Amino acid sequence: MLKREDKPKIVKELKSLIASHRTVGILDMAKMPARQFLKIKNTITKDGSIKIKMTRKGLIARALAESGNPSLEKLMEHVGNSPAMIFSNGDPFELFSTLKKNRATSSAKVGAVVNKDITIPKGSTGIPPGPAISTLGKVGLKTRVEGGKIAVIDDKIVLRAGQPVTDDLAAVFSLLKIEPVEIGIDLSAAWENEMLYGRDVLNVDVDQYLRDIELAVHAGINLSLNTGYLTKLTAPLAIQLAFWRAKSLCLAANILEKDVIGEILAKAVAEAKALEAKVPAIPETPAEQPAQSS
């Protein structure tokens, strides 16, 4: 139970954290189990660059209002019933990426959806023979008894990404102590330098983003070269392209020029040899015999 005299202290702490950090964000903790939250929190805050504070919605609103920055109050639009504040010295995209990479596993309830294929590997389960054999068999696992324990014969994908957990799978996961569900801290929105970023903006596929940039660079180079609108970056490429086109023209038209004369002569020799190979050999004429005296 939060005491009345503690509330001003919490607001003061939140205001201090807001003032001393580059990025301020709002977390949605509604569906976050305590064990998984503590595991993720300990990982991402260990270097001190990120801090997380859980408190009441009203105290967050008060801290934002008293921060002296009206644009920060827009964060309240993203505050749910179970919020927390997160503070970072990195930018909002770095913060979102950090949270996205650091996830914890959880046991699977019936109906839960996994975001990756779940494979049960072959090998001993450590479980003695008994009803467990039937339980494992219901999800298609082939088993045998090895050394007094049930062993899975082959690796098997028992659940595909995007599919829900069934009753039989939930029983198997519980039996084998498998936690197939990944849980992460949900960043609802983040503020930096008068700008507010929602989750839909922050959720960037970095690999795809880099591919898009690379594609845009290639397209820009092609446009510059094909239109003749040269820049300091494309001018060297244009000169190189012009040289190769001029060289190709000289070779095709047999224009003798110092940079291509060697290749033209080599081409002539090769063509002469090819022609020689197609011309039948002319038989040599026998030498005339000298006349014999009578």
Please tell me the distance from the alpha carbon of residue 118 to that of residue 109, in angstroms, as a whole number: 15
Sheet architecture: strand order including 123-124: 123-124, 149-152, 143-146
157: number of Cβ within 10 Å: 11
Quote the pLDDT of residue 195: 94
Report the candidate in 216, 208, 212, 238 with the shortest Cα–Cα distance to residue 225: 238
Would you call 227 helix, strand, or coil by DSSP?
Answer: helix
146 forms bridges with which residues in the sheet? 149
Quote the pLDDT of residue 17: 96
Residue 290 has pLDDT above 70, yes or no: no
Residue 36 tokens read as 């998984």
What is the radius of gyration, based on Cα positions, of the chain? 37
Average pLDDT, the chain: 89
- Helix intervals (H) in the chain: 7-20, 34-44, 57-65, 92-101, 131-137, 167-176, 199-202, 206-227, 235-253, 261-278
Please tell me the distance from the alpha carbon of residue 252 to that of residue 150, in angstroms, as a whole number: 76
What is the arithmetic mean of pLDDT over 166-183?
92
- Homologous superfamily (CATH) of 118-182 is Ribosomal protein L10, N-terminal fragment, domain II (3.90.105.20)
Q: What percent of the chain has pLDDT over 70?
A: 95
pLDDT band at 294 (very low <50, low <70, confident <90, very high): very low
62-72 pLDDT per residue, tens: 999 999 888 99
41: exposed, middle or buried (Cβ count in 10 Å: 0-12, 13-18, 19+): buried
96-129 pLDDT per residue, tens: 999 999 999 888 889 988 888 999 999 999 999 9
131-140 pLDDT per residue, tens: 999 999 999 9
Pairing assessment for the beta strands 23-28 and 50-54 based on DSSP bridges:
unpaired
Domain boundaries in the chain? Answer: 4-103+184-204, 118-182, 208-278
Fold category of 4-103+184-204 in CATH:
Alpha-Beta Plaits (3.30.70)
What is the arithmetic mean of pLDDT over 278-289?
67
Quote the pLDDT of residue 284: 66
Quote the pLDDT of residue 292: 58
Q: What percent of the chain has pLDDT over 90?
A: 62
Quote the pLDDT of residue 291: 57
Can you say whether residue 177 is alpha, beta or left, with left for phi > 0 and alpha for psi between -120 and 50 degrees?
A: left
Would you call 32 helix, strand, or coil by DSSP?
Answer: coil
Quote the pLDDT of residue 43: 94
Instruction: Measure the CA angle with vertex 22, ends 21 and 25; round to 5°.
Output: 85
Q: Are 120 and 158 in contact (CB under 8 A)?
A: yes
Read off the pTM.
0.66
Would you call 187 helix, strand, or coil by DSSP?
Answer: strand
- Residue tagged 């990426």 (tokens): 97
**Higher pLDDT residue, 151 or 273?**
151
b/e 170-189 (16+ beta carbons within 10 angstroms → b): bbbbeebebebbebbbebbb
183-232 pLDDT per residue, tens: 899 999 999 999 999 998 998 887 888 899 999 999 999 999 889 888 99
Report the candidate in 22, 182, 207, 202 with the shortest Cα–Cα distance to residue 104: 182
- CA distances from residue 86 to 22, 28, 49, 83 in whole angstroms, order as listed: 11, 11, 11, 10
Can you say whether residue 110 is alpha, beta or left, with left for phi > 0 and alpha for psi between -120 and 50 degrees?
A: beta
Would you call 121 helix, strand, or coil by DSSP?
Answer: coil
Residue 84 has pLDDT above 80, yes or no: yes
What is the arithmetic mean of pLDDT over 77-91?
93
Quote the pLDDT of residue 158: 94
